[in-house]
């Protein structure tokens, strides 16, 4: 039996079928695959892993004794979306897979520090001011979507001084 890849009738070579993987990697197919995946994620995540149930704003219990309204305003501007019960959930936070990421940030953020449930967990003032001074907080990905949350050096110092006076 012949093992030749030539077509037995015409004698011309049969073009090799590109592998599924290689054809997915073509730009046009890549776009189609991405759209299909996105659609699939919406369909699957909606009933199964919808984040809507997690995107709550529980009733605020108690806030720190803010030294000045300006201190609170700075904290609201750059921290409250993840560290309070007054999260503003933007439209894209409803759309998977971003919803998973954003919801996770808020849950983790509130667990560490929740300005709306002040006194519930022991939070070290130094830890909070350090997070601002080092630039670790607010997080880089958050600033990408919320440029208004970015603090100038002067505002950072104002927030640090205000937090030191308020969080006891």
Task: Please tell me whether residue 160 binds ligand HEC under the rule CB under 6 A.
Answer: no
Candidates 51, 63, 81, 87: give the one binding ligand HEC (CB under 6 A). 81
Q: Report the helix count and the strand count for the chain, using DSSP H and E.
A: 8, 0
Q: Is 158 a residue that touches ligand HEC (CB under 6 A)?
A: no
State which residue, 81 or 85, has the beta carbon closest to ligand HEC: 81
Phi first, then psi, for residue 153 (nearest 5°) are -60, -40
d(C-alpha 6, C-alpha 101), whole Å: 53
Kindly tell me which residue out of 87, 99, 138, 167 binds ligand HEC, with binding defined by CB under 6 A: 138
Minimum CB–partner distance for residue 137 and ligand HEC (Å): 3
8: left (phi over 0), alpha (psi -120 to 50) or beta: alpha
- Among positions 109, 114, 160, 167, the unique one binding ligand HEC when judged by CB under 6 A: 109
Query: 135 in the Ramachandran plot: left (φ > 0), alpha (ψ -120 to 50) or beta?
Result: left
Task: Pick the closer one to ligand HEC by CB: 22 or 136.
Answer: 136
* 167: nearest Cα among 137, 129, 131: 129
Interface residues toward ligand HEC, by CB under 6 A: 78-79, 81-83, 105, 108-109, 112-113, 127-128, 131-132, 136-139, 142
């Amino acid at each position: 039996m012949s093992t030749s890849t030539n077509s037995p009738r015409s004698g011309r070579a049969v073009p090799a079928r590109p592998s599924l993987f290689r054809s997915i990697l073509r730009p046009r197919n890549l776009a189609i695959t991405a759209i299909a995946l996105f659609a699939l994620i919406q369909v699957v995540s909606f009933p199964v892993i919808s984040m809507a149930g997690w995107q709550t704003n529980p009733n605020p219990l108690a806030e720190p004794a803010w030294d000045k309204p300006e201190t609170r305003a700075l904290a609201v501007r750059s921290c409250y979306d993840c560290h309070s019960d007054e999260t503003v959930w933007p439209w894209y936070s409803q759309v998977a897979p971003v919803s998973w990421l954003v919801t996770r940030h808020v849950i983790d953020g509130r667990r560490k520090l929740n300005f709306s449930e002040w006194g519930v967990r022991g939070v070290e003032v130094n830890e909070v001011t350090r997070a601002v001074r080092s630039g670790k907080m607010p997080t880089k990905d958050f600033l990408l979507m919320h440029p208004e949350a970015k603090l100038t050096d002067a505002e950072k110092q104002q927030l640090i001084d205000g937090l030191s006076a308020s969080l006891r």
